Amino acid sequence: MKPNIVLINCDDLGYGDLGCYGSKVNKTPTIDKLADDGMKFTNFYMSSSVCSPSRASMLTGCYPKRIGFYNFEGWWVLFPGQRYGLNPEEKTIAKVLKEKGYNTMHIGKWHCGDQEPFLPTRHGFDHYYGLPFSNDMGRQVGVKEILPPLPLLKDEEVIQAQPDQSSLTERYVEKAVSFIRENKEHPFFLYLAHMHVHLPHYVPERFYQQSDNGEYGAAVETIDWATEVITHELQRLGLEENTLVIFTSDNGSRALDEGGSNLPLRGRKTTSWEGGFRVPCIMKWPNQIPKGKICDEMATSMDLYPTLTNLVGGKMPDKKIDGLDIKDLMFGKNKSIRNEFFYYCDEYLEAVRMGKWKLHIKKDGKAFKALYNLEEDIGEETNVYDEYPDIVEKLSKRIDLCIEDLGDGKILGSNCRAVGKVDKPKPLTTYDPNHPYIIAMYDKNQRG
């Protein structure tokens, strides 16, 4: 019997934001229990430290550079009405699962293109409900860029503009529960991508009142509540035993001054320090994934694609991907087959990890030389570049091979594919002064 798959992807949730990853200020009992009942990964990476490349990469099993998803007219992420998006010729994991008879739904943040050919319903999802990009990309007070109203989509139709963000998670959970109930006798793939904890924070009053970490903690606890509702529904319907739940985040926390934490890692979102790329990841599948297991082996979001494809007997794409099948690792039967990982920021290759060693070569387009032993120095505090020239040389050779393959800056890689593009893009919404918006202008000017 094919397992149901629930993939929960948070927005900007840091490595140190959950109780089971060391937080002393955020209350996350449901997610902590998920870790107790499943496997917690401590060396799990997203392939970008910002959201559009990270999400497209997870869905396709490819480094963002391979699919042209790294720079959009000077922006690191997609903005409303841009001409770019995930190329329709790319085969997402949703398309793979759809081919194997799964019913599929995406709820929440998409951020892989808002033009018609790039929407979730064109990439393997039967249904979509959510924001097509970040929650700070609507009309906000005091923000320099004048953006169109924030659209809430149902499939491909805008059903509301400028929604009350404090109620969105509850609406997402309602849709998730409905989808699970409708498919209780049919294999399903639910991809729930939270708006939290991306700035600005709009949280339900209940969680704000009980938070010990302000609005940020309330946003984290809202995620925990949503996870509890979904796991409770799976149990209630008798689906828990045959459902694989994967919980992770699209990149590290940016809001370190507002309560976020990537500790004990260094850095934040947008950087190639560990705090930008290494994220929480928990997987639970009763009687399949070992209970209470901590996995210190290296794995990435790109690995989900071939792992899930092979798990359900799906067909891999005929194009090159970068993910590896970690099924045996997930089931506790083997060590990781991934020994290296490359850190791209925008179009630049900034670092590589091989085993315990991480070599930095660039920061913000400028040369930067640093070597760290991540097993002994997870916080990247002690630069041992001059002490291990043989290690530097070995990792530098891997860097050179990666640049040949994927490119670096203006150097084009030999195995890269084109980003999707339309000729006449247009935003999904336009501001109408006569429209009865529930919130015509968001009252916070924070940007994520």
Q: Are residues 321 and 390 in the same domain?
A: no
4-10 and 366-373 beta bridge pairing? unpaired
DSSP structure class, residue 356: T
| Residue 341 β-bridge partners | 353
Q: Does 278 map to a domain?
A: yes
Q: Are residues 392 and 328 in the same domain?
A: no
Q: Does 167 map to a domain?
A: yes
pLDDT at 372: 98
Q: Does 422 map to a domain?
A: no
Q: Are residues 167 and 31 in the same domain?
A: yes
Distances (CA, A) of 91 to 69, 159, 190, 352: 15, 28, 17, 27
- Structurally, the chain folds into a number of domains equal to 2
Burial of 388 (0-12, 13-18, 19+ CB in 10 A): middle
Q: Does 58 map to a domain?
A: yes
| Residue 191 β-bridge partners | 7, 106
pLDDT at 197: 98
Q: Please, what is the Cα angle at 351 between 383 and 328, to 5 degrees?
A: 105
Q: Does 414 map to a domain?
A: no
Closest CA to 199 of 137, 241, 156: 137
Separation between Cα atoms, residue 380 and residue 403, nearest integer Å: 24
Q: Does 78 map to a domain?
A: yes
Q: Does 428 map to a domain?
A: no
Write the CB contacts of 72 (distance below 8 Å, at least 6 apart in sequence): 52, 78, 79, 82, 84, 419
pLDDT above 90 (res 290): yes
Residue-range definition of the domain harbouring residue 36 = 4-339
- Annotated active-site residue in 10, 62, 111, 295: 111
Element (H, E) at 193: strand 188-193
pLDDT at 12: 98
Q: Does 439 map to a domain?
A: no
pLDDT at 54: 98
Element (H, E) at 412: strand 411-412
Q: Are residues 383 and 289 in the same domain?
A: no
Q: Are residues 97 and 116 in the same domain?
A: yes
111 is catalytic: yes
pLDDT above 90 (res 365): no
Kindly report the CATH number assigned to the domain that includes residue 185: 3.40.720.10
Average pLDDT of every residue of the chain? 97
Kindly report the CATH number assigned to the domain that includes residue 365: 3.30.1120.10
Q: What is the pTM of this model?
A: 0.97
- Annotated active-site residue in 10, 51, 112, 281: 51
62 is catalytic: no
Q: Are residues 15 and 129 in the same domain?
A: yes
